[in-house]
Amino acid sequence: MSTAVATANRPLSIGLLGQPNTGKSTLFNALTGSRQHVGNWPGKTVEKKEGTLLQDGQKYKLVDLPGTYSLSANSDEEVITREYIASDDLDIVVAMIDASQLERSLFLLADYAGIDRPVAVLLNMMDVAREQGKSIDSAKLSALLGVPVFPVVASKKQGLEPLYALLKNAEFQHCFLRAEPLFKEYQAIFGDTFSVLEGLLDGVRFGVQTPRWIAAKLLENDARIKEMVREAVDSAAWHSIEQILAGVQDGLLTTADCKFRWINRLVVESAYTPSDHLKLNWFEHLATSPIAGKILALAVILGGLIAAREAGYVLMGLFSGYCIDPILGFVENVFGVIGIPAGFTTFFCETVLNGFIFAIMMALYIMCNALVFGLLEEVGYMARISYAFDNVMQRLGMQGKSVMPMLISFGCTMGGITGARVIDSWKQRTLTIASSWVVPCAATWGVLGLMSSLFFPRHANLIITALFLTSILHLFVTSKLFGRSLNIQKEQNGLIMELPPYHKPSWRSLSHFTLMRGRDVLLKALKVVIAIQIIFWLLSYSPDGIIANSIIYRIGTAIEPFTMIFGLNWQLFMSFVASAMGKEAAIGVIGSLFGSAGAAGNLFGLSFGGGEGGDFGAAILLGATAPQALAFMFAFYFNIPCFMAIATTVTETHSAKWTARIALYYVLAALLLSGVVYHISKLFF
């Protein structure tokens, strides 16, 4: 059995185990607060969350294991979870069980049976279960499982005192899950097959993984366990094992049936569920309807996007109106008092300080998105949206959950990218992020509206329709191209969980989630935005403020023969490049490059400050043709959303390689589309 214990040099290590939507992350955030670190597991692209719990003068290391439905080796999340459980870095597992969905939540615990690692069970969402009329005898369930079972409400940190006492007194060292009843189910169903297989594995043990647990995984055709067993036994024993496994049909389904039989006995003996708890009310009928469910979901999401956008604009407006000028004035005064040269003060304010201000504004906007859509997740409706669109997304190689990040991207691409965290599989999450880039964010429409009204006032709606139809084709090509590279068909995951019950949101947990999301975005934004600010400031700078004397002018005119292949003169191409930094940047760059020389000044300042300069529309009409404008609209629409989206994608996928592939693909696709549109439109304009 496991002998891992805390030492004077290492705090007690606790692993939080649970399926998605059981409140595991809520408990982790509640216990650790800001004392947490988010990274990725070594050699993997799966998020790793560690934190510190301080209780009664003692320090505990808390690890939020990836949410998973089983301990099979079908995904990186499952492999990471079971390998960490088997490692010497862990002392005790705390298994989160959703009391309102007891049968579903116990399946992961059934898969844990046979592992000799101490475990304690938390029956979470007891308040929701009571509202449903359910009751659970935690003492009876504890006796059946052979381990401590504590009823809790994680969002309110209620009922955790017994767990603290268990940890403090080190009483957990003998808390091993009583697995004998489950293995009797295996023997009853598989007969001599299980007994013989168990005998052949006598003495085979992989750390805390016992022969019986290994035997069950062999029956499930677990590839990793089969390889480990093949290396651990002699050739004769392995030959016998192969012969036994060859005669097993549908082993994974059969073992699952055994687990559910065991779970059913536990529930019957320890819990009471009203007979009418499975009846659907009118709203649930509507939410899960094949057609009406999609309409309702779109209406809810659209309302959420509007609410998040309006709230975000209000916050950004308040910050812009009441904070920016005082901040700039304060910095300029301080720099003047301590004798900083005026040139450096200008440089600092237009790069570092502007970057800081822009990052704060983006964080405020993302916080509003996180609050609105986090609320939908908290009350349990998000799973219904995923269910409604599952069949549509499956055709694109994804799953129902993928629709949410894409729809959120209409408000802000960064929000959509971070929203992909709800997808369990890293590969499907990465494909969803890659596909969500094609969705135009709110800032895109300002530039498109300007260009279409100037060059195509009578056909603006037709142009927008063409962009939408092309984006659908783009989405299809993107999903198929990256889906093939990511082997999505091989590891495609559908919706296998039950729909969680509706329940009241925990405002404390939701507030913490919103603030943490805003903090993460701010810290990431600062690194990228300030660097881009400096680069564009240097490129556009000229001592006399005339654009023709700047580096960017020389570069632009030099590469124009090449950029015209795609229908973009040098001004439009530089605006295309600037749009990759941020869609809002394109307006200022267009105004600067097509305006008078005196109005040029600093491109980045104009991008976010809204520059001044004569007849803006007339200058653009004189500087570009209709085919060039149309080509730019397509290039701009399908370009990289923004550099912040790139930074967020690196963070969410934990892969700079895949982010670079996605970014390169979007740039090339945007230029290819603009070139095709330009040469075709020349036939009509």
- Domains of the chain and any CATH numbers: 13-169 (3.40.50.300), 179-272 (1.10.287), 292-488+500-682 (no CATH)
Tell me 460's DSSP state.
H
Question: Does the annotation place 23 within a ligand binding site?
Answer: yes
Residue type, 330: F
Q: How far is CA 395 from CA 289, 390, 399, 435, 600, in A?
A: 19, 9, 9, 13, 49
- Sorted by sequence, the CB contacts under 8 Å of residue 222 that are 6+ apart come out as 72, 73
* Residue 64 marked as a ligand binder: yes
**DSSP-derived 3-state class of residue 115:** strand
CA atoms within 13 A on the CB side of 593: 30
DSSP string, 319-365: HIIIIIHHHHHHHHHHHHHTT--HHHHHHHIIIIIHHHHHHHHHHHH
Structure tokens at 500: 């969680």
Any known ligand binding at 52? no
Residue 609 pLDDT class (50, 70, 90 cuts):
very low
pLDDT over threshold 80, residue 536: no
Mean pLDDT across the stretch 360-382? 79
User: Does the CA dihedral 148-149-151-155 come out positive or negative?
Assistant: positive
Q: Which amino acid is at 274?
A: P
Whether 254 has a binding-site annotation, put simply, is no
Of 6-20, 235-249, 479-493, which one has max mean pLDDT? 235-249
Rounded mean pLDDT of the chain? 81
Residue pLDDT, tens place only, 231-245: 999 999 999 999 999
Is 43 flagged in the annotation as binding? yes
Residue 453: count of CB within 10 angstroms of its CB: 11
> pTM of the predicted model, to two decimals?
0.62
Supply the DSSP string of 206-245, one letter for each residue: BTTB-HHHHHHHHHTT-HHHHHHHHHHS-HHHHHHHHHHH
pLDDT number for residue 141: 94
Rounded to whole angstroms, the Cα distance separating 545 from 25 reads 53
**CA of 350: how far to CAs of 357, 593, 640, in Å?**
10, 19, 24
Distance between CA atoms of residues 507 and 504, nearest Å:
9
25 is in an annotated binding site: yes
Contact at 8 Å (CB) between 413 and 441? yes
User: Does the annotation list 20 as a binding residue?
Assistant: yes
Neighbours of 590 (CB within 10 A): 29
Asked whether residue 199 is marked as a ligand-binding residue, the answer is no
Closest CA to 130 of 157, 94, 102, 110: 102
> Is 22 among the annotated ligand-binding positions?
yes
User: Is 18 annotated as a binding-site member?
Assistant: yes
Find the range with the poorest average confidence among 57-71, 166-180, 276-290, 326-340: 276-290
Statement: residue 477 has pLDDT above 80: yes
At 430-472, the pLDDT tens digits run 898 999 999 887 667 656 766 777 788 788 778 877 887 898 8
DSSP3 helix / strand / coil % (the chain, rounded to 5): 65, 10, 25
The whole-number pLDDT of residue 210 equals 92
Q: What is the pLDDT of residues 29-50, one digit of tens each?
A: 888 876 767 666 665 546 678 8
**Strand segments (E) across 30-86:** 36-40, 47-55, 58-64
If one compares 605 and 357, the residue with the highest pLDDT of the two is: 357
Rounded Cα–Cα distance for residues 430 and 659 (Å): 9
Check the annotation: does 126 bind a ligand.
yes
Rounded average pLDDT over 146-154: 92
When computed from its CA atoms, the radius of gyration of the chain, rounded to whole angstroms, is: 29
**Residue 453 counted as an annotated binding residue:** no
**103-142 pLDDT tens trace:** 888 999 999 999 999 999 999 988 888 888 889 999 999 9
Cβ within 8 Å of residue 217, ≥6 positions away: 72, 225
Residue 556 annotated as binding? no
Distance CA 617, CA 591 (A): 9
> What pLDDT score was predicted for residue 5?
53
> Is residue 47 a known part of a binding site?
yes
| 44 among annotated binding-site residues | yes
388 annotated as a binding-site residue = no
- Of 136-150, 525-539, 600-614, the poorest mean pLDDT is in 600-614
Which uninterrupted H or E stretch holds 120?
A: strand 119-124
The answer to the question of whether 601 is labelled as a binding residue is: no
